[in-house]
A and B are shown apart, each in its own frame.
Chain A
């Protein structure tokens, strides 16, 4: 059986007035059925573009998928026509966006929005769809779901709106859910509620999840595997335990070192990563992290290292990775 999702050498560029932005520079990853893959990275690292490209949700122009393939259950999504792609969107792959306020229609009742997505993909009567909509709201923990179907999005709090988004993403029982920083706009106590909800639904329904985040704490709680992105490349991927226990790429090491930890005993000094992330104009040369990396050598500045497996399930793109004792040949 093919993997649920196989992304191979995906490249996405944006053709802007100032020049070509190389947002994605050939990233490859896989997602298994029922697994949670977290994609972490800072703003502009390509984590959102990387998953929106899967559903061809990149605004085009200026965006263009310049190369690579995306196979979902063996079918190449880049080869599908619009009608076939629409069936995949929502029905087989659901999306939860970062900001529930801007991704729900403010002038449409929440129930009608749920019914709309249900009837678009499934043959249901209006009554059946409404019943199903109420069930979905109950499943995501919204109190008095039947009576809330007639409310508008502004009548819900931020956390409750995100629950509605999750209900909508789950409405057609998709096999994969893409969650694009779904808790970034929420307070910590509400974030904890949403994270526990997604964890519970994932184990109950067996849905695979791609969780995009910049928060390494949330990722530690939720993910099975992690891919770290920098400047449009995946620079390290490992199981969640391995990544936190044995980070191999200097950027991952730096990222983990720059976080103050709640459980830390004495006061440690934060190890900041110096410098700034690169501008993605023009094709990349050398390792994108080299200008900020304390281990960088001439080779790093000239040649971009490929993502190479260094241990079981652990791959890293670095000439001087922190796992291997010596530099790679």
Chain B
């Protein structure tokens, strides 16, 4: 793919063993991520959407090597992270950070906010001496809209939105190239979500950041992303530019997903035709043969139930995995 890619993921798979019995023998595997390939260009925001259990969070963690992949390659600035030595990987980590979903669980409750933000500075030797560190922490807090005088407070003294700002300041501390945002707004109230999204947008423009933005809220992803990847049961089913995905979704799952999202306009809602999917997502421990969406797809044929469709470029820049496209 393109040379300018900051991240190139090739055949990434993460399988979690299922152990059972007295001896804990491996009797199967949860195929959380099962062979996905895509690139993230420098400066773009790649949105990754899908329902719970589709593997989007695991994929994000596997890219950062927080969960080690079972197979595949993750090239970051041209170097494969999967085969990188631990010490080299530790140095690379400085350039890729993560913002977590739950601002309550992802900050150490026993550490002061100033310490939380200073931690990555120390780990990666970014600042020299206490004065430099204090100054950098103050700048970071101001950048994300927190008053630096609150540096000695503990996380529980902040609201959810403020805590997410602390998490963002911590991710920015080492001046990374890539930030994986794992549902950073889904735990927040609507009026606070917009504040955080606007902050993330401003930071991306000012610092030339690249985001992998993982979410289940498609309207927010459309708003934020350059391109969007749709996952279903461990596989990518569609990947294209944000505008194209919403204007002309090719995969039946994407079409159903888009039609399921309510639009805050009662007149439009009454006029809308919905594609209601039957049933639930199958278990990733025992995915159906052929196309994984075939059990719920309103258009599925015999071929779909037997043969797995390839993830291919159906139109320039528009990738899809479906026999019917």
Contacts and interface: CB of A to CB of B under 8 A. Distances in A.
Interface of A: 42-43, 157, 159-160, 187-193, 195-196, 214-221, 223, 240-241, 244-245, 254-256, 258-263, 267, 269-274, 276-277
Given A217-B261, A258-B191, A196 B159 contact: no
Interface in B186-207: 189-195, 197-198
Given A187-B52, A255-B190, A261-B265, 7 more contacts: A192-B262, A196-B274, A215-B262, A216-B190, A217-B263, A218-B262, A272-B191
B80 to A, nearest CB: 34
A255 B191 CA distance: 6
A262 B246 contact: yes
Contact of B276 (A196, A217, A240, A259): A196
Contact of A217 (B189, B246, B262): B262
A162 to B, nearest CB: 12
Contacts of B193: 258
Nearest to B195: A272
A42 B195 CA distance: 15
Contacts of A262: 218-219, 222, 246, 258, 261, 263
Contact residue range for chain B? Answer: 35 or more
A263 B258 contact: no
Interface of B: 51-52, 159, 161-162, 189-195, 197-198, 216, 218-220, 222-223, 246, 256-269, 274, 276-277, 280-281
A192 B162 CA distance: 32
A216 B268 CA distance: 13
Given A188-B260, A190-B280, A192-B274, A260 B220 contact: yes
A193 B262 contact: no
B194 A271 contact: yes
Contacts of B265: 220, 244, 261, 263
A64 B259 CA distance: 43
Nearest to B223: A260
A220 B264 contact: yes
B231 to A, nearest CB: 12
Contacts of A263: 263, 265, 268
